[in-house]
Chains A and B, each alone.
Chain A
């Protein structure tokens, strides 16, 4: 299994990422992600409940892909918390992309609070079957 994996994408967790200062008050959360790879692309799924397309920011800068989502869904005025297990927060996570990702063709969809990022591999990074001719 592990040998199938390429190093096209590396997750940068928390403290590895330089200069991620919170610019908004509140908690900065790391969304749980699934990352899988097939022949054509790497797909990243991230749980970001409460994030709307308008408050999601996907930033690609010097090979580092950063997803940031703000949750505005605070409790409406007049509601008193009885107990809380989560709070309104900002989700953020960064990934280092290799150059073998076709960075212009990255697709993002957000549905039911789950972000799906499709990172297509550049042509030269796809596995190629080489047929061997016999004479």
Chain B
């Protein structure tokens, strides 16, 4: 199981190695743009690839899980962590001989930790065209708030 931590500190003070890792990612992104990569996610063998984004009120977790029935997907939330698991059923084709088998199959499980707590009871999940989108509402305390400054 691969657990990716999204550090809440990465925007401010960070470990000295963070810059190196960021540079490497940037380099990989550049190389991919030049050569065209295989769409199997950021790292080889990591399934499913996931993106995390946010706006003022929500975090959004998206995962590329093509060809899996929604009933075969399971999402659980604990504190700041979302875990997605499921099984991609292998096709049982009678009398077929395979030329290529590149698509991932079998059970998978991935966890993502978002930067702040969210309201686990109000998480919404939507599965369209092979992309699972989870909407995690931020608690009031994590929402950006405009602070008015009073001048004396």
Q: Which residues on A are within 8 Å of B, measured CB to CB?
A: 1, 4-5, 9, 11, 14, 27-39, 42-43, 45, 47-52, 73, 75, 78-86, 89, 91, 111-114
Secondary structure call for the A interface: strand
Question: Does B77 count as interface, using CB distance less than 8 angstroms?
Answer: no
Measured CB to CB, the closest approach of chain A to B52, in angstroms, equals 4
CA A81 – CA B93 in complex, angstroms? Answer: 40
Contact A27 B37 (CB under 8 A): yes
Q: Chain A residues near B100 (CB, 8 Å)?
A: 11, 33-35
A82/B96 contact (C-beta < 8 A), A47-B67, A91-B39, A113-B130 known: no
Identify the interface centre among A35, A80, A91: most chain B CB within 10 Å of its CB: A35
Q: Nearest 7 A-B pairs (CB), nearest first?
A: A113-B130, A113-B66, A49-B130, A114-B67, A32-B102, A29-B39, A85-B42
Q: Chain A residues near B39 (CB, 8 Å)?
A: 29-32, 47, 86, 89, 91
Contact A79 B69 (CB under 8 A): no
Name the residue of chain B whose CB is nearest to the CB of A28.
B36
Secondary structure call for the B interface: loop
Interface footprint category on B: 35 or more
- Of A30, A47, A79, which is within 8 A of B130 by CB? A47
CB-CB contacts of B35-60 with A at 8 A, as 1s and 0s? 11111111100100111111110011
Q: List 27 A-B contacts (CB under 8 A).
A: A11-B99, A11-B100, A32-B39, A36-B96, A38-B94, A38-B95, A38-B96, A43-B93, A45-B67, A47-B64, A49-B129, A50-B64, A50-B130, A50-B131, A52-B129, A73-B131, A79-B55, A79-B60, A80-B54, A82-B52, A82-B59, A85-B51, A86-B41, A86-B49, A91-B39, A113-B64, A113-B131
Question: Does B33 count as interface, using CB distance less than 8 angstroms?
Answer: yes
Name the residue of chain B whose CB is nearest to the CB of A92.
B36
CA A27 – CA B39 in complex, angstroms? Answer: 10
Contact A36 B99 (CB under 8 A): yes
